[in-house]
Amino acid sequence: MILQKVLTFFKCICKAVIDFRDHDGMEYAGYLSFIVLLSMFPFFVFFNALTSSIVSVLDKDQFLYTRLFDVLSGELPHDTMDALLPRIEEILSGPPQSLLTVAIGGVIWTASSVIEGIRHVLNKALRVSAPPPYILGRMFSILQFLIIVAVMMLSVLFAVLVPIIFEVVGRHWEFLRFVVSKVVLFIAVSWIYFMVPNVRQNILVVLPGAAVVTATWTLTSMAFSWYLSTFQVLKTIYGNLTGIIAAMLFFYILSIFFIYGAELNYRLSNRHSSVHI
C-alpha cells in the first residue's frame, strides 16, 4: 500500500512536468518574472503611503525599515539586492503622498497586475474552462491586492507594537527569522493557490504544491547566491546591468517552481481520476 502511494506520487510528479511543458510554463514564467518586477515598486509606493502615518505616529519608522531590509537581505541574492534595494529604500524613506495623489489609480492598477498574471497562470494549470470576463477578473485582482496590503499592514502594526519579541529572542533571532519567514512563505503561497484561481478547491489540495514551492524557493535563493558569488558570467556579459538581469533571472526561476507547484497540485488532486487531461 505504501509502495503504491509512493509510485503514484512520483507518477504525478512526472505528469506535472509534462503538463508544465504542454501549458507553456517556461514562457509564462518569463511573463510572471517581468510583471513581478514591474509591480514591485508601485506596490511599495502604495504600501508605504498607507503605513507611513502609522509608524510615524508610533515613532517606529526606522525600526520598521530596518527589519524590512533585514528580511529582504536574507531572502534575496546579494546582486539582486544591489539592484533593487536602493530604489526600495528611497520609496520607503521618502514622502509618498505626492506620488500617491497624482497617480493613485495607476499605482493600484499596476501593482495588482501581478495578481492578474498569477490568476491567468493558475487558471490554465487547474484547467479552468470559463474564466470571468477581463474587467470582472481585474476587479477581483484589485480587491485581492488590497486584501494583501491590509494583511501586510496588520503584520507591520504587530511588529511595531511588540518589539520586545526581538529583544527576548536575542541571539536566537537569526534562526527564528529563518523559520518564521518559511512558515509565512508557505502560508502565503497556499493562500494564493487557494484564493486566486477561479475554481473551488479544498484547502488541503494546495498544500503539497505550496510545500514544494517553499522548499525550492529556499534552495534556489541559496544556490543562486552561491552562483553569483562564485561565477562572474553575468558580470562579464551584462556589466552594469548585472543587478537587473540577476533580479529577472531570479524571479524567472521562482516563477517556474510556482507554476510547477500548481500543476503538481492538480495532478495530485486528480490522481484517482480515470480521465487524463
With cut-offs at 50, 70 and 90, classify the pLDDT of residue 40.
confident
Q: From residue 101, give the alpha-carbon distance in Å to each of 95, 151, 195.
A: 11, 23, 30
- CB 246 within 8 Å of CB 16: no
Above 90 in pLDDT, residue 47?
Answer: no
Q: How confident is the model at residue 147 (pLDDT cuts 50, 70, 90)?
A: confident
Q: Has residue 191 been placed in a domain?
A: yes
In a domain, 3, yes or no: no
- Give me the pLDDT at residue 228, please: 81
- Is residue 237 a part of any domain in this protein? yes
Domain count, the chain: 1
pLDDT, the chain, mean: 79
Q: What is the 3-state secondary structure (H, E, C) of 199-247?
A: CCCCHHHHHHHHHHHHHHHHHHHHHHHHHHHHCCHHHHHHHHHHHHHHH
Close Cβ partners of 213 (under 8 Å, ≥ 6 residues apart): 185, 189, 257, 258, 261
- As a whole number of angstroms, the distance between CA 192 and CA 206 comes to 9
Residue at 4 is within a domain = no
Rounded Cα gap, residues 254 and 33, in angstroms: 8
* Domain membership flag for residue 131: yes
Each residue of 149-179: pLDDT tens digit? 777 666 655 655 555 455 555 555 667 767 7
Give 255-268 pLDDT, tens digit per residue: 999 999 999 999 99
Indicate whether 7 belongs to any domain: no
Give me the domain span that covers residue 222.
12-269
Confirm whether 274 is domain-assigned: no
pLDDT at position 165: 55
Residue with the bigger pLDDT between 65 and 256: it is 256
CA 49/CA 61 separation, integer angstroms: 12
> Is pLDDT at 21 greater than 70 in this prediction?
yes
The pLDDT, as a whole number, for residue 205 is 92
Confidence of residue 277 (pLDDT cuts 50, 70, 90): very low
Q: How many CB atoms lie within 10 A of CB 106?
A: 11
Residues 86-112 have pLDDT tens digits of 777 777 666 555 555 556 677 777 778
Checking if the pLDDT of 272 tops 80, the result is: no
pLDDT of residue 153: 66
